[in-house]
Chains A and B, each alone.
Chain A
Amino acid sequence: MLLIRCPWCGPRNEVEFSYGGAADVVYPPDPDALSDAEWGEYVFVRDNPRGPFAERWVHTAGCRRWFRAVRNTVTHEFREES
């Protein structure tokens, strides 16, 4: 069970949240300029690190805001700064 710090509501139980996967995935500025391989990479490939991971969460059952957090995928600890 994770205790997740919503930047607006404070620490809340994991069950109030939904997961949004990797953060900082930027939509390609000019998709038409990408090759099929580059587009496929954008659509399907995400980092999957063992260790600190910047990710998106949404406080579904709370304020319903999306936010970014850095969590260690081995210890499940959230890092304070994000």
Chain B
Amino acid sequence: MTDDLMRSPLAGVTFTAPFVRELPFLAMVNLRVGTFPHPLPGPNRVGTLDGRDVLWLGPDEWLVVGPPGDAPAIETLLHQALGDTHGSVVDVSANRTTLAVSGPHARDTLAKGCPLDLHPSVFGPGHCAQTLLARAQVVLRQVDADPTYHVLVRGSFAPYLAEWLADATREFW
């Protein structure tokens, strides 16, 4: 559900670098479960579930990501899939916003503040990780080989991280 009252933590922020943009209001539903009837991605990987992306967060924790407004449908989907199985389904869409960093300078930009090895031989499309970017906790995923990365960051850290990205990208354009 989107409505006029929704406001991104990055509303009004101008992204100076042409290869950084915000993808606001993505639906995010947190799933905690022991055994799930459908296959879920393993460590540090992204899978799909009924057209949505599923990010591995931990040994019993995943984040299901869909387009804006999709959270209720995802919740319904997960509840139905769980059936009588014990598990937790929570809409956390308001928790984070998403920054997309793409193109030939994306990797060098992120490498300035991320302790992960982002070399394509180690971290490529379909990979995700909970890690730090400029000391802010983020969920990082690589979407394609351009490369395009999505940085999922909590709302309270988003303006800081946007400013950090503006500084980190300055040399590249």
Contact = CB atoms under 8 A, between A and B. Distances in A.
Direct contact of A and B (CB under 8 A): yes
Interface of A: 8-10, 12-13, 15-16, 61-65
Contacts of A65: 58-59
Given A61-B137, A62-B129, A63-B130, A10 B58 contact: no
Contacts of B137: 61
B131 A63 contact: no
A62 B59 contact: no
A9 B43 contact: yes
A11 to B, nearest CB: 9
B132 interface: yes
B: interface residue count bin: 10 to 19
Interface of B: 43-44, 57-59, 61, 115-116, 129-132, 135, 137
A62 B131 CA distance: 5
- Chain A, interface SS category: loop
Nearest to A15: B115
B67 to A, nearest CB: 26
Contact of B129 (A9, A15, A64): A9
A66 B106 CA distance: 32
A9 B115 contact: no
Contacts of B58: 8-9, 62-65
A59 B166 CA distance: 29
B115 A12 contact: yes
Contacts of A61: 130-132, 137
A10 B117 CA distance: 12
A9 B132 CA distance: 14
Contact of B44 (A10, A16, A64): A10
Contact of A8 (B59, B116, B131, B135): B59
A64 B130 CA distance: 9
A34 B132 CA distance: 44
Nearest to A64: B58
A10 B43 contact: yes
A69 B129 CA distance: 21
Contacts of A63: 57-59, 61, 130
Contacts of B135: 15
